[in-house]
Amino acid sequence: MTYNNDNLTRRLEAVRDRLRRAEKRFGREEAAVALVAVSKTRPAEAIRACAEAGQQLFGESYLQEATDKVTALFGLNLQWHFIGPIQSNKTRPIAENFQWVHSVDRLKIARRLSEQRPEGIPPLNICLQVNVSGEVSKSGAGLDELPNLAHEVTALPNLRLRGLMCIPAPADDFEKQREPFRKLREAKTALQRDGLDLDTLSMGMSHDLEAAVAEGATMVRIGTAIFGPRNYR
Ligand SMILES: *Cc1c(COP(=O)(O)O)cnc(C)c1O
């Protein structure tokens, strides 16, 4: 597949505009919301073009293609976010290659990531994936198990728990889109009241970015709106 870099840069710019307009409209501070460009299924060259246009944060879901791209683009100083489902026998390359993991939903995975995080580099930033409302996938901790999980993850030495993440079922209605995001925000507030030091809400994709910003997202994960529709092989 070939990428038209002018097109890509224009789409990236349009997403940045959307984000800045949403921040203004919903009373958020300018640049309060970080943009993670979700580059799963996209070639390294598309990522390089985005990086040249100033994009630094990239999200990947599939481990093999992700580590290939991390290796190919080494030296560009990108920040890599793992956002996909995690099998417990695949934690080591995640602990070694990524700066953030958004999709931790059980203690076993967190323990392995902490044990396998290499010495001498900063702790791995973690968001706990929460199943706030009949999500499409079965992934995500339940709201009832979240407090225990959060406290146990906080105690792991090579992880830094930053916040929460969710992937709600798609909805067209704006108010409907806000509901799961509001629940995630309230769950984070409850944990903070409980003494946890959290600063991140990873929520909002191409179709519901504005609703997520309205409910306090600090990171949105955007693929299609930047790179176009995905072709799964
Ligand atoms: C693919 C993916 C995204 C990006 O979705 P788009 O609809 O393409 O913006 C965001 N988050 C996760 C966890 C994903 O798997």
Q: What is the pLDDT of residues 50-99, one digit of tens each?
A: 999 999 999 999 999 999 999 999 999 999 999 999 999 999 999 999 99
Write down the residue that tokens 């030296």 correspond to.
75
Residue with tokens 């791209």, as numbered in its chain: 69
Angle between helices 44-52 and 5-25 in degrees, nearest 10: 60
Domain ranges of the chain: 5-227
For the domain spanning 5-227, the CATH number is 3.20.20.10
pLDDT band at 3; cut points 50, 70, 90: low
**Within a 10 A sphere around the Cβ of 22, how many other Cβ atoms?**
20
The secondary element (H helix, E strand) that includes residue 47 is helix 44-52
3-class secondary structure, 132 = coil
Instruction: Count CB atoms within 10 A of the CB of residue 191.
Output: 21
Measured at the CA of 106, the angle between CA 102 and CA 108, to 5 degrees, comes to 115
Pocket mutation for ligand 1, best pick of 205, 206, 220, 226 (most atoms within 8 Å of C-beta) = 205
Contact call for residues 179 and 142 (beta carbons, < 8 A): no
Tens of pLDDT along 102-155? 999 999 999 999 999 999 999 999 999 999 976 666 789 999 999 999 999 999
Residue with tokens 């909805």: 171
pLDDT for 43? 96
Please give all residues whose beta carbon lies within 6 A of any atom in ligand 1, as ranges.
Answer: 38, 40, 61, 83, 167, 205-206, 221-225
